Structure 1
C-alpha cells in the first residue's frame, strides 16, 4: 500500500469519526435541551406587550370629493392613476434606474439579514474544536526527558437561556425594524413616483409659458416694425413707436429666465431618472398635455382611519413604536440574572491516527449564572431611558397621523382651489382674446390708439401665462392628493421580486 492510499484511508477514517463526534454532540445537545425544556416553555418575556394605541381620528375629512367610484384613490395602482403614457414611461424608468431608490432597496435587504442575525441568539450554538500539543520534559527536572503528544477533538454547544425574554424582545424589535424598512421603501417609491410626475408637469408648464412668450415676442416684433413703417409714412408719432418698442422688449426680457428654468427643471427630472441625457420630447409632451386623459375623472378619498393601513410613513412610525416598546422589555430584563449552559463531547489520544478510535472520551457540561448586584444605578437609568424613548415614539406616531390627516385636507383644498381657478382663468383668457381682437380692428381702422391695442395684448399675454400655471397647479394638486393617500406602494409580488433580484446578484 503506497502513501497516497494510506492518506486516503486516514482521511476517510477522519471523516467517519467526525460524523460520530457530530452525532455525539447533537446527542449532548438533546440532553441539554430536554433538561431545560420545561424552564424555557414556562419562561415569559418581561416588559409590556405591544398594543396599537387608540387614535381619535375624525370620521371624515373637512371636505369630500365627488364619490362616483368605489375605489379609494390610495388603493389604485399608479399605472391606473397616471394615464398619460409619457408619465408612465418616465416613472417606470425611474423605478428601475433611480440611484436613491436602489440605496433604499439595499438597506431593506440588509434589514432582512439583520433579523436572521438577531434571531440566532434564540438558539443554541454548535461548534467543533480540535487541538494538538507536543511537549518534552526539561533535562534539568527529568533524567530521562521524553517527547509527548496530545491530540483532542470535541464538539461544543453553548446557549444563553432566554428565561426573561430579552432575546425575544430583541427579535421582536429587529423584525419591526425590517417591516419599517419595507415601509421606508414604499415611502421612497411613492415619493419618487410623485416627484417624477411633478417635475414632468412643472417642466411642461415652463415649456408652454416659454412657447407663449416666444410667440408673443414674435408678434410684438412685427408690430414694432409696423409702427416704424407707419411713422415713416407720417401716420403715427415717434411716441407710439417707442411704446411698441417697450412692449416688444418687455416680452423679450422674460425669455432668459424661462429658458433657464426649463433647463433646470429638465435636469431635475433627469436626476430622478438616473441618467445624464434622457431624451425629453417637448412637442409630443405638450400635445398629450392638452389632448390626453391624464388622471381618472372621479375617485374618492375614503375615511381618515384608512391612513393607518395605507400610508407608509404612518406604518413606519408604528413600527418605530413597536421597537421602542420591545426595548423597554430588553432594558427590564437587565435586572434579572443571565443563565448560560456550555458543553463539549470528544476524544483525546497521544497518536493522531488513533484520535477517532481512542477510548479516551472527554465531555463536560457547565451551567453559569450572572446577576447584577451593584452598578451605580446604570440599569435603572437605562430602563428609564427606554420608557421615555417609548413615550417619544408614541408622540411621534400621533404626530405623524395628525400631519397625514391635514396633508390630505390641504391636498383636497388645493385641488378644489385649482379647479375654481382654472374655470375663472379660462374665462379671463377668452375675454382677453375678444378684447384683443376688437382692439386690433379698432386700431387698424384708426378708431383707437396703439395704447389700447398694447393694453389688450398685455392682458392676454399675462392671462395665458397664468392659465398655464393654474393648469399646472391642478395637476400638482392631483399628484399631491394621490401621494397623501398613500397611493403607489409596491405590491407583495414586487417586494418579493426585490428579494429575488438581491439573491440573484449574490449568486
Structure 2
C-alpha cells in the first residue's frame, strides 16, 4: 500500500517540467566606443581597486573607517543577511514539512440514551507530513527568483560601497579646497592689514590721500569677508564627513593643502561593453530582471493543477502512562489533486502583472545601461574640461604673479600709482582662489569618472558576499551574474 504512492510520486517528479521562460540576456547594442574624440583604450580598462586609485594616506584611512562604520552601508549589509536567510525560507517550500502532534481528549455520553453516563479518554502521539509536489516547477522558479534577488541585494551592497568611497573622497577634496582658500584668504588678510597700517601712517605724514587709504581698506575687507564663510564651510564639510564615517565627533585633522599627484597618472576607460562587468548597479539591475523572469513561471504554474501528499503516523492510547507502549498504531497516506476552475480572472491578471513586471525590469535594465554609458561619456568630457581649465588657470596665476611683482617694483620706484598695485594684488588674490577651485574640480572630475566606470570594490564579487554553494538551484543565476 505504501510502495504504490511512492512509485506514483517518483513518476510525477521525473515527468515534472518548469513553466515560464528561461532567462536570456537581452541584446543591448552598446556602441563600440564612447567617442572618437575621446582618448580611450579599445582593449580593456584598468579600473583599479580604491587603494590603488586614492593614493593619499589620510584619505585611505578615512575610507577604511567609513567602510567599517557607515550606517547606511550597515543597513545594506543587514538587508543582505535577511535576503540570505530568505533563501532558506524559499528553498524549504520544495521539501516535505514534518510536524510532531500530541493530542488528548475526554468525552462523556449522556446516561439518558445509555445505561448510564459513559466516559472515554484518549491520548494520541504522532508525526504528520505534507508535501506539495513541484510538478510544474513553481517552487524551482521561486528558488531562482529568490537567488536572483539575493544576488541583486549583494550587488547593491557593492554599489553602495562604490558610492560611499566616492562620497568620502569628494568630501575630502572639497575640504582640501576650502582649507587652501582659507589659508590664502588669511595670508592675504594679514598682508592687507599691514598695508593698511602703512597706508594710514603715510596718510598722517601727508604722503598719500585719504582716498588711497580707503582703497587699501576695501582690499583688506574684501579678504576678511571671505573668512567667516570659509570657516563655516570647513566645519560643515567636516560634519558631512563625520556622517559618512558614522561618527558624532570623529577627529578630522587638517587635510593636505597640496593635493597634487593624489591619483594615478592615467585612468583607461576601456570599451562600453566592459561596464556590464564593472558596475555593480548594472549587475543588480540584471539580477532583478532574472527574478522577474522567474516570477512569470510562478504565475503560469499557478493556473495548473497542484498535487499534494499528506501522511500521518502515530500511536493512540486511553492512558498517558502507556502511550509510548500502546499497540494502537495509526497511520494515513493521502494524495490530492486540485485545479483552479473559476477565480474571476484572478490568475490571468496575476500572470499579466508578472509579464508586465518583467517588461518593466527589462526597460529598467536598458535604462540603467544607457545612463551608465552616458555617465562615462560625461565623466570623460568633464575631466578633459577640468584638466584644461586647471592648466589655463595655472597660467593665469603665473601671469598675475608676474604682474604683481612688476607693479610692486614700479610702485617702489614711483612709476606706478597705488591703484595699479592694488589692482595687481586683487588679480593675484582672485587667481589664487580660482586655481584652488580648478584643482578641486579636476580632482572631483577624476573621482566622478572613476565611479562611473565602476571602480572601488576591486575583485570582490556578489558571489563572495553571498557565499553560494555549488548546487543546481543557484548555479544558473550565478553564471548569469558573472557572464558579462
**TM-score with structure 2 setting the length:** 0.92
Deviation at 1:248, TM superposition (A): 1.2
Q: CA RMSD in A?
A: 2.2
Cα gap change, 1:498 to 1:86, in 2 (>3 Å)? farther
Deviation at 1:38, TM superposition (A): 1.8
Match of 2:148 among 176, 183, 190: 176
What does residue range 484-503 of structure 1 map to in structure 2 within 5 Å?
Answer: 484-489=452-457, 491-492=459-460
> Does residue 1:59 correspond to 2:21, yes or no?
no
SS in 2 for 1:253: helix
Match of 2:376 among 388, 408, 412: 408
Q: Which residue of 1 is the match for residue 480 of structure 2?
A: none
Q: Which residue of 2 is the match for residue 285 of structure 1?
A: 256
SS in 2 for 1:122: coil
Aligned partners of 2:164, 2:209: CA distance in 1, in Å? Answer: 58
Kept in 1: contact 2:314–2:329 (CA 8 A):
yes
Q: Which residue of 1 is the match for residue 353 of structure 2?
A: 385
Deviation at 1:492, TM superposition (A): 4.4
Cα gap change, 1:258 to 1:311, in 2 (>3 Å)? same
Cα gap change, 1:59 to 1:365, in 2 (>3 Å)? same
Kept in 2: contact 1:343–1:363 (CA 8 A):
yes
Kept in 1: contact 2:44–2:274 (CA 8 A):
no
Kept in 2: contact 1:87–1:200 (CA 8 A):
yes
Deviation at 1:320, TM superposition (A): 1.1
Q: Which residue of 2 is the match for residue 198 of structure 1?
A: 170
Match of 1:72 among 41, 45, 50: 45
> Does residue 1:233 correspond to 2:201, yes or no?
no
Cα shift readout 1:153-185 (whole Å, capped 9, x = no counterpart): 221110111111111111111111100000110
Aligned partners of 2:56, 2:41: CA distance in 1, in Å? Answer: 22
Cα shift readout 1:271-301 (whole Å, capped 9, x = no counterpart): 101111112221x6225x24xx411112311
Match of 1:459 among 427, 433, 440: 427
Kept in 1: contact 2:154–2:465 (CA 8 A):
no
SS in 2 for 1:368: strand
SS in 1 for 2:68: helix
> Does residue 1:436 correspond to 2:382, yes or no?
no
Aligned partners of 1:495, 1:307: CA distance in 2, in Å? Answer: 18
Kept in 1: contact 2:185–2:227 (CA 8 A):
yes
Deviation at 1:141, TM superposition (A): 2.7
Kept in 2: contact 1:131–1:152 (CA 8 A):
yes
What does residue range 463-482 of structure 1 map to in structure 2 within 5 Å?
Answer: 463-482=431-450
Aligned partners of 1:380, 1:474: CA distance in 2, in Å? Answer: 56
> Does residue 1:38 correspond to 2:6, yes or no?
no
Q: Which residue of 2 is the match for residue 355 of structure 1?
A: 323
Cα shift readout 1:322-363 (whole Å, capped 9, x = no counterpart): 111111111112211121111111222223233233332211
Unaligned stretches of 5+ residues in structure 1: 1-26, 500-507
Match of 1:260 among 226, 232, 242: 232
Cα shift readout 1:38-87 (whole Å, capped 9, x = no counterpart): 2112211111111000110011112544659x97333x211111111011
Kept in 2: contact 1:125–1:158 (CA 8 A):
yes
Unaligned stretches of 5+ residues in structure 2: 468-484
Match of 2:71 among 93, 96, 99: 99
> Does residue 1:125 correspond to 2:68, yes or no?
no
**Structure with the bigger percentage of helix:** 1
What does residue range 115-194 of structure 1 map to in structure 2 within 5 Å?
Answer: 115-194=87-166
Cα shift readout 1:4-60 (whole Å, capped 9, x = no counterpart): xxxxxxxxxxxxxxxxxxxxxxx97x9755431221122111111110001100111
Kept in 2: contact 1:160–1:340 (CA 8 A):
yes
Kept in 2: contact 1:60–1:304 (CA 8 A):
yes
Q: Which residue of 1 is the match for residue 284 of structure 2?
A: 316
Aligned partners of 1:187, 1:470: CA distance in 2, in Å? Answer: 28
Cα gap change, 1:71 to 1:88, in 2 (>3 Å)? farther
Q: Which residue of 1 is the match for residue 344 of structure 2?
A: 376
